[in-house]
Amino acid sequence: MNSAGPDTVRIAGPQVGDKGDQLLDVTSGKARAAMPPGMRAMSCTHDRGQTLVCTHGFAVVAVDAATGKLLVALKDGDQGRTPPTVTAVWHGRVYGRGVGGPVVLDARTGADMPTKPEAAPLLVNEYAGLVLDDNRLFSYPAGG
């Protein structure tokens, strides 16, 4: 069981049995939505907005946190690109390291977004992104 947003948890794994992989309302315990098939092994992080960003091996998948609807699925070799190694997610942005360096993706569409500064933060909030480089911690203002 992991957090999947405000008042929502994700329940997945063999112990769930025939219920599969679901998003549950924490107040009522009732299912809000089923996750897309084949995602039980994926680890998901809520972006503190509307999206769950899930990773496993060479795949990055984004799911609407309220409906369980699959938004984006980037798998190794799809569309001629390698999915990034995700370092952080925050309010609709997926931060990571790609083949050519740091990348930022729109969590809802998978589209590339500007990366300023050229860094892959480990932690992000509304104020700053923290980047570890050569065992030194740097802070950059969060922004647009």
Long-range contacts of 11-16 (CB under 8 A, 24+ apart): 12/39, 12/40, 13/40
14 — pLDDT class (breaks 50, 70, 90) = low
More confidently predicted of 138 and 57? 138
Output the pLDDT for position 143: 65
> Judging by beta carbons within 10 Å of its beta carbon (0-12, 13-18, 19+), is residue 20 exposed, middle or buried?
middle
Residue 130: both structure tokens together: 């923290």
3-state secondary structure of 119: coil
Output the pLDDT for position 134: 86
Output the pLDDT for position 144: 53
When pLDDT is averaged across residues 82-90 and rounded to a whole number, the result is 93
139 — pLDDT class (breaks 50, 70, 90) = very high
Give the whole-angstrom CA distance, residue 86 versus residue 103: 9
Quote the pTM value. 0.88
Residue 96 predicted with pLDDT over 90: yes
